[in-house]
Amino acid sequence: MAQKRKAIYAGDSWPEKYTYVPALRVGNTVWLSGTTGTDETGKITAPGDIVEQTRQIFRKFEALLKREGGTCQNIVETKDFITTTENYKGTADVRREFFKGSYPTSTGVLVSGLLRKDALIEISAVAVLDEEPDDD
């Protein structure tokens, strides 16, 4: 029997043009889609600043996970896709802010570009929550 899938959105709606969801919960596992450092309008929040883009991504992850009773502390894996290594080491401080010493596994991939113009980093993640979802 297939487990129930629950789409998770930051707000109350999601544009119909998208063929993906920001996060998907199956059981107590949440898959967070590749995310860039954008605001609610889709605009990059910190052009040229990989550290602040990373911080915005983790803020977005935190908001999504909070909707399901979790936090970034529940993340067990991240994948970073970066277009530059300049200041990439600074993203480690952001990880320390959000993971507070309980670090997930991580993969970093240097790419020639990302779909979102001006994005220097895109991160996807997997989180494991403490409880199964309520049947609602």
Q: Residue 104 corresponds to which tokens in the numbers above?
A: 């997930």
Q: Residue 64 corresponds to which tokens in the numbers above?
A: 């999504």
Q: Residue 106 corresponds to which tokens in the numbers above?
A: 């991580």
Q: Per-residue pLDDT tens for 2-29?
A: 789 999 998 777 777 788 999 999 999 9
Q: Residue 73 corresponds to which tokens in the numbers above?
A: 């502390």
In the chain the domains, ranked by start, together with CATH numbers, are 24-128 (3.30.1330.40)
pLDDT of residue 66: 96
E strand residue ranges, 18-135: 23-26, 29-35, 75-82, 105-110, 121-128
Regarding predicted confidence, which is higher, 41 or 57?
A: 57
Across the range 82-103, mean pLDDT stands at 95
